[in-house]
Amino acid sequence: MKSSTLQYLATRLSQFDDAECATAGKLVRNALSSIDVFTQSAEAEHALYHSVWGGHISRALDVGSFTPAQADVLGALETEMAGHTLTIRLSLGWLTRSAMAPQDFPALAAFQN
């Protein structure tokens, strides 16, 4: 995790006039003040991204009033935070393959005409 990444995230969250986004932005800015904790601990990084994702961005999308364009941008942020959270879980061994998981995944071409 780089401080520039968090600064960019905080900037993007500040573009929404929404209490949940403001709270998420505050979490991110607070993390910047103790960036060493988050660069040295995958668990701390996970906790931050998980809080921003599930604790605030998802809730904002569920209850907030956004224009369609704003909802698209916030939805992309939600996906990004989910990606960070789940990638960290995978790297820490917190996600495992189920017995029913495929061994090979279909390529995009399989779904295109």
Does residue 62 lie within any of the structural domains?
yes
On whether residue 16 sits in a domain, the answer given is: yes
Q: What is the separation, in whole angstroms, between the first and last Cα of the chain?
A: 40
What domain count does the chain have? 1
Residue partners of 32: CB distance under 8 A and separation at least 6: 3, 6, 7, 10
Which phi and psi angles does 71 have, rounded to 5°?
A: -60, -35
The per-residue pLDDT for range 60-105, each reduced to its tens digit, is 999 989 999 999 999 999 999 999 999 999 999 999 888 898 889 8
Domain range for residue 51?
A: 3-94
Tens of pLDDT, residue by residue over 14-38, are 999 999 999 999 999 999 999 999 9
Q: Is position 108 within any domain?
A: no
In a domain, 67, yes or no: yes
Task: Report yes or no on 101 lying in a domain.
Answer: no
* Model pTM score: 0.88
Q: Is 113 within a domain? A: no
CA distances from 51 to 24, 31, 100, 108 (A): 8, 12, 30, 32
Q: Does residue 8 sit within a domain?
A: yes
Q: What was the pLDDT predicted at 112?
A: 93
Flag whether 49 is in a domain.
yes
